Structure formats: structure tokens, C-alpha cells
Structure 1
Amino acid sequence: MNYWLMKTEPSTFSWDDLVRDKKTGWDGVRNFQARNNLKAMKKGDLAFIYHSMDDKAVVGIAKITKENYPDPKDKDWVAVEISPEKKLKRPVTLAEVKADKRLADMVLVKSSRLSVQPVTAAEFDMIVALSEKKVN
């Protein structure tokens, strides 16, 4: 299994929208590196849903339910289908991720603008663990 992080602006499409809709096609990605990441996704992989803009936090976990297919808006690009798997116990902010030295090599820290990015199994587990810790 592989792990990913998918960014969305909550004012456009949020975690709550995904829960309400039960599944969605993740389309509209127009970056070659992010497209390659979509192409690498396999059914059953897990992806963090990250609210960009104001929230800047990992808020939930989605499951890839359909591997890449042509983006309905532009056949030169691809989309995947995702469904909600689990809401994190609490959002994990970008500031928390950056403050944790164990996550210093995470793509979110090094290339924060990439909209679809890989996450290692260790990073995935650390983010989930951080979500379960109370913040002072």
C-alpha cells in the first residue's frame, strides 16, 4: 500500500463535502509531478486530505477507490476516485508538521505547493499519532 497527501481549498471542496458526497473524482490537477502521483495511485491506497489556504492542516484520510482515468475536463490529464475513510481526531497543522523534526523530509515541508504528493508509511503513522495528541 502507498500513502499520499491531496490538497484542497476547503471553500472549493472540503473534507465535509467528501463525507457528504461519499465519493468524488479528484480531477482538475494541472501539474505534471502531481499528475504522475495520481497515475501511481492504486485502489486501496490511503491519502491524507489537506485543507490548504487558511486552515493549512491535515483533516482526514481518504481511500483510493478507482485508479487513474482520463480527467473529464481534459483528456490529457488524469483523475482518481476517492471516498472518505476516517476523520482525524483533530486536524494536524502545517506548523505542527514543520515543528516535528521527524517530519523534516516530508514533501509537505520541502515542496509545500505540490497538490498531490507521496507520504511514507512512517510519516503517515506520525501524522495520525499527532492527531491523537491533545494540544496545549
Structure 2
Amino acid sequence: MRYWLFKSEPSTWSWADQVAKGAAGEEWDGVRNYQARNFMREMAVGDRGFFYHSQSEKAVVGTVEVIAPAHPDSKADDPRWECVDIKALEATQRPVTLEEIKADPRLAEMVLVRSSRLSVQPVTPEEWRIVCDLAGLRP
């Protein structure tokens, strides 16, 4: 199993929107960055991810599971763009902010710290464990 982080502007697609989709989940569509798309191509069903609210909140607010491998983005006219489907798993006991993540020396190499603009990014198993601990979740 691999770990990922999915960033979304809450005004566009929020944690509440994701939760409302239930077990059916939703396409993680609209990604128009080759590196982020390539990360989604690497994902497998069962992989886990953090759901991260960008913009003003800038915090991990929940965990998700990949429920469908990369496939054409149904909202794209160009076949180069692909996405995965994800479903909500668990809300954090408390949000883990970008400020907290940046302040933790154990997370200094996290992609979110080094390349915060990337909308889909990998998370190492150790980073997953640390952020889960900070969020009050079982890794």
C-alpha cells in the first residue's frame, strides 16, 4: 500500500462533499498537472491518502481510499488527463495545519513542505504515521 495527499479548495470540493458521496466515492477530476496526473497513474486500489483543504484552511482534515485506478477524466476533452476515484474514510480528530507540518522537523522532507502547490503528491509511510498521530488517527 502506498500513501498520498489530495489537495482541494473547500469552496470547490470539500471534505463534507467527499463524505456525502459515501462508499460510491468520486472521481478526483480536474487535475491538469502532468506530475500530479502521473502520481495518480501510480496509484492502486486500496492506497490511502490525506484529504487536504487548501486556501485559507491549509490543513489535513481526513483520510481517503483509492477505489478505482487511473482512468480518463470524465470532465476532460483531452484523453491525456486521467484521474482516480476516492472515497472518504475518516475525519481527523483535529485538523493538522500546514504550519504544524512545516514546524515538525520529522516532516521537513515531505512533498507538501517542499512543493506545496502540487495538488496530488506522495506521502512516505513514516510521514503518514506522523501526520496520523498528530491528527488523532490510527495509522
Normalised by the length of structure 2, the TM-score is 0.93
What is the one-letter code of the residue matched to 2:113?
Answer: V
Give, in angstroms, the shift of residue 73 of structure 1: 2.1
Give, in angstroms, the shift of residue 132 of structure 1: 2.1
Confirm or deny that 1:102 pairs with 2:121: no
What is the one-letter code of the residue matched to 2:11?
Answer: S
Partner residue of 2:84 out of 80, 84, 94: 80
Runs of 4+ that moved beyond 3 A? none
Q: Alignment RMSD, CA only?
A: 1.0
SS in 2 for 1:65: strand
User: What residue in structure 2 maps to residue 11 of structure 1?
Assistant: 11
Partner residue of 2:93 out of 86, 89, 96: 89
**CA–CA separation in structure 2 for the residues paired with 1:117 and 1:101:** 19
User: What residue in structure 1 maps to residue 125 of structure 2?
Assistant: 121
Confirm or deny that 1:112 pairs with 2:116: yes
What is the one-letter code of the residue matched to 2:120?
Answer: V
Partner residue of 1:25 out of 24, 27, 35: 27
Structure 1 residues 48-107: Cα deviation after superposition (integer angstroms, max 9, x where no partner): 000000100000000000000001122220011000111111100000000000000000
The structure with the greater share of residues assigned to strand is 1
**CA–CA separation in structure 2 for the residues paired with 1:32 and 1:132:** 33
SS in 2 for 1:39: helix
Partner residue of 1:39 out of 25, 38, 41: 41
Give, in angstroms, the shift of residue 120 of structure 1: 0.2
SS in 1 for 2:81: strand
What is the one-letter code of the residue matched to 2:21?
Answer: D
Normalised by the length of structure 1, the TM-score is 0.95
Specify every segment of 5 or more residues in structure 2 that has no aligned partner in the other structure, as ranges: none
**CA–CA separation in structure 1 for the residues paired with 2:36 and 2:80:** 14
